[in-house]
Chains A and B, each alone.
Chain A
């Protein structure tokens, strides 16, 4: 029998049994739409964690061992912002108490524009350009009994006092490596002496850090570069875990949905059992019967998956605009240290996976009804119905 004719008959069966078709389609549409949205939400959650983690201080790429002449070469294609930082080992001294730390000289205006670190101020304020002020962690201030407005001496590692600065503000990020062992001041306030140059590189949306790092390593072989997955392996693992969980959810949802589709499709097929018996009696071969049923469920799942995908995309579009605020649940989470807003984002994988899985599982769901009908003798069908 011609395939085109079988497709036509399958289409007519679906079209003219529209109530049953609608019920079957609704299951697929809702499952696909929900999974497109969940996939986009998973991507959006990962985006938020990356945005929060890199946007607080580090940027997407951390560059170190830089020379002054290297700085202009950091601004290549895909790079949105480069923040230059100068590091110096110092001893902080107050009333005989000493605290060794790395003092980081920054451009306060650019830092405030490019990072969210200044938002972590718990007392005082962030230093201003040209001031001889210091921005240090609340934990360090507590150990040295320092308060905002207090003067503090900076000594070199040998204990020789080189400069005195005033505490402009205190911060607390909740992230250990930022809350311990470092303090910030405007570059102009750094004591005279040798400094080490580093940079935080911020990339435009969608630019993979690995490609930019590879380019840097070619053009600046003496410097050291690390993309965020290298210096934040915990975040990388968390994101990988998120994707694995999402894949498991998709497989589970469709396994359940396919059982539902299979049962409903079997009922749908049994409702037409006599007609299948008549077609077999008229000479429809078992293979043709199987092909007719596969075409039926194939058409149904393809159309329903397409509608479900569009519904999912529309939902994502709405929430991508307004965002989802989960700030109440992330206040103590270091991966959401800047903002608890999630913006679902569609990727090719997030759009393509749910409908593809729906079609595969839908076709798998057709196996049971097909085996049942094909094995049935037409005389038994006509006698029993």
Chain B
């Protein structure tokens, strides 16, 4: 279970203090999928970053199975991300110097999965995402849809319990986008992974089990 309690975060820039998140509170049970909805600048990415311990809120608490992630040391937060969190970024963001198989290998190596177990897992992921034969392809040789599928495969390679996806369909056409989101929901449901997807795509929002609407860093009435 993940519980957000009165989380607020503001940034200081040339425009002065900007409230990115204001008094955000909600609870999501393990294995559920939630969409963070809102326009650009509504605080979706900041909230995902806070959930993924990439940054700390100025106030409030983020409880993951009862542990306040905000109290962890930087090293503990990195190790938390390594073992418990999977990220799907916009436009894939695969490591360009690594082939498809090597990109999938990266989180497995980070989590100490080597040898035959590693090879089995890579083959399993490629088969699941219908990308067998792409092992040696470099990211630059892939289409946008293929890149996002590999990015998703990489994010779940080490079986994280929390998957965070920031506008994962931004670079895809609607058919590919829908397909990817369906796959995400389906696999996360099967594996019991809690899923947060940030999107402003109304069509995708219709697929959501639950939506947390954000506007100017504040929660609107959620569904």
Contacts and interface: CB of A to CB of B under 8 A. Distances in A.
B95 A281 contact: no
A279 B79 contact: no
A283 B79 contact: yes
Interface in A268-296: 274-275, 278-286
B55 A377 contact: yes
A286 B77 CA distance: 12
A152 B43 CA distance: 111
Contacts of A283: 78-79, 81-83, 85, 107, 110
Given A282-B87, A283-B78, A379 B95 contact: no
B98 interface: yes
Contacts, number: 63
A16 B83 contact: no
Given A377-B55, A379-B55, A285 B93 contact: no
A278 B89 contact: yes
Contacts of B78: 280, 283-286
Interface in B90-136: 93, 95-98, 102, 106-107, 109-110, 114
B97 A17 contact: yes
Nearest to B138: A16
A230 to B, nearest CB: 61
B118 to A, nearest CB: 10
A285 B75 contact: yes
A267 B15 CA distance: 29
Given A282-B82, A282-B106, A382-B89, A275 B96 contact: yes
Interface in B61-94: 75, 78-79, 81-83, 85, 87, 89, 93
A1 interface: yes
A13 B96 CA distance: 9
A275 B83 contact: no
Nearest to A278: B93
A9 B98 contact: yes
A240 to B, nearest CB: 49
Give the size range of B's interface with the partner.
20 to 34
Contacts of A322: none
Given A1-B110, A377-B54, A382-B54, A281 B81 contact: yes
B52 interface: yes
Contacts of A279: 95, 106
B14 to A, nearest CB: 14
Contact of A379 (B49, B75, B82, B138): B49
A5 interface: yes
Contact of A378 (B54, B98, B107): B54
B32 to A, nearest CB: 23
Nearest to A282: B107
A12 interface: yes
A379 B81 contact: no
A44 B78 CA distance: 57
Interface string A49-93: 000000000000000000000000000000000000000000000
B93 A274 contact: yes
A79 B88 CA distance: 77
Contact of A12 (B75, B97, B107, B110): B97
Contacts of A278: 87, 89, 93, 95
Interface of B: 45, 49, 52, 54-55, 75, 78-79, 81-83, 85, 87, 89, 93, 95-98, 102, 106-107, 109-110, 114, 138
5 contacts: A282-B106, A283-B78, A284-B82, A377-B54, A377-B55
Given A275-B96, A282-B106, 14 more contacts: A1-B109, A1-B110, A9-B97, A9-B98, A12-B98, A279-B95, A282-B81, A283-B83, A285-B75, A286-B78, A377-B55, A379-B54, A379-B55, A382-B54
